[in-house]
Amino acid sequence: MKKNASTRIQGVCRVKGGSDIQDEILRLKEERHAIILAHNYQRAEVQDIADVVGDSLELARAAAGMDGNVIVFCGVDFMAETAAVLSPKKTVLLPAPDACCPMADMITADQLRLVKSRHPNAAVVCYVNTTAEVKAESDICCTSANAVAVVNSVPEKEIIFVPDRNLARYAVRFTKKTILPWEGYCLVHDRYTPAQVSFARRLHPNAIVLVHPECRPEVIDCADHVASTSGILKLVRTLPDKEFIIGTEVGILHRLTKESPEKTCYPLSPDAICVNMKKTDLVKVRNALVSMQPRVTVPAEIADRARGAIERMLAL
Ligand code: 13P
Ligand code: SF4
């Protein structure tokens, strides 16, 4: 279903008594026929002015399905690139142009081509946290919400999985296929340890531990549930338990508090901060809408090949 430019999907909209800059952004947004997409790790005030706040899969679906001329992507570069690939006729703005994902930069298209030449019968599954060039070399894309389903959907028995070794190892638990993981990792999630989980459980003995699949296998082994960021939001909303320990980037606590005020959520580590996700602020969003810069574009020959991998995932 096509959404118009002012649709609020996740029920996240301007806070009551919003500031002047929030009002200015909302006015500019209407004038430009823009939609604002924000990842669950964005600053609270940025989430509050977004049309859609979600995980990588929800934002990719929103970018593919929404009307409007302009997408303002409050996230990191690969997310804006994915939106540009899916909507080549739209203007895609990334208010913080230096907001990158270090994990996405841990593999290049040349490196992937070399691995493919060594495993000619393997399918390539790329995490959405990759450049468009790497997606263009891949058979199908996945996110943390659908990695297992994507791996099991391809006919090949052998899968080159890039770039997140931890997500690859998580998928191994749910498939009979042979997975060849690339050795990339998320700087935020890879730092959690089982000792942190034990410590948090001692502090909050009634809490349920929820972690992201970008965590190391030994941390996943200590958790009660493993889910994408929006999966974690859903678990907190729907489980009967009252207390949760949250093993993902702390920006998610804003939505958790807003959507489940009757529950108590403790961060597994208060230091789990993705500095790149925090580079976007309201001033940069306003400036992007005024200047219609910085724009993210992907060369057509790369976009055309990368689109296949993303659309195959969205069709699942
Ligand atoms: P999800 O929101 O898809 O779980 O992804 C987490 C992430 O690290 C995005 O960069
Ligand atoms: Fe990349 Fe990790 Fe930041 Fe997500 S949280 S953008 S995977 S560094």
Q: What is the pLDDT of residue 18?
A: 67
Q: What is the pLDDT of residue 10?
A: 37
Q: What is the pLDDT of residue 114?
A: 98
Query: Ligand 2: does its nearest atom lie under 6 Å from the Cβ of 83?
Result: no
* Contact between residue 180 and residue 215 where contact means Cβ atoms under 8 Å apart: no
Q: Which atom of ligand 1 is nearest to the CA of 57?
A: 3
Mean pLDDT by 10 residues, the chain (316 residues): 34 54 96 96 97 93 89 97 94 98 98 98 98 98 97 98 98 98 98 98 98 98 97 98 98 97 98 98 98 97 97 95
Q: What is the pLDDT of residue 68?
A: 84
Q: Which ligand is nearest to the CA of 164?
A: 2
Q: What is the pLDDT of residue 67?
A: 83
Query: Ligand 2: does its nearest atom lie under 6 Å from the Cβ of 302?
Result: no
The residue whose C-alpha atom lies closest to atom 7 belonging to ligand 1 is 56
Instruction: State the DSSP code for 219.
Output: H
What is the best residue among 10, 53, 56 to mutate for testing ligand 1's pocket, by most ligand atoms within 8 Å of CB? Answer: 56
Please report, as a single letter, which amino acid is at residue 315.
A
Q: What is the pLDDT of residue 7?
A: 29
Select from 107, 61, 37 the least CA-distant residue to 313.
Answer: 61
Sign, CA torsion 72/63/255/14: positive
Q: Tell me the CA–centroid distance for residue 214 and ligand 1, in Å.
A: 8
Q: Which atom of ligand 1 is nearest to the CA of 213?
A: 4
Q: Tell me the CA–centroid distance for residue 186 and ligand 2, in Å.
A: 5
pTM value is 0.92
Query: Ligand 2: does its nearest atom lie under 6 Å from the Cβ of 274?
Result: yes
What is the best residue among 78, 142, 186 to mutate for testing ligand 2's pocket, by most ligand atoms within 8 Å of CB? Answer: 186
Select from 204, 201, 219 the least CA-distant residue to 263.
Answer: 204
Instruction: State the DSSP code for 138.
Output: -
Half-sphere exposure of 83 (CA within 13 A, CB side): 31
Q: Which atom of ligand 2 is nearest to the CA of 103?
A: 1
Q: Which atom of ligand 1 is nearest to the CA of 78?
A: 10
Q: How many helices (H) and strands (E) does the chain have?
A: 14, 12
Q: What is the pLDDT of residue 14?
A: 43
Pocket of ligand 1 (CB under 6 A): 40, 55-57, 101, 129, 143-145, 186, 212, 214, 228-229
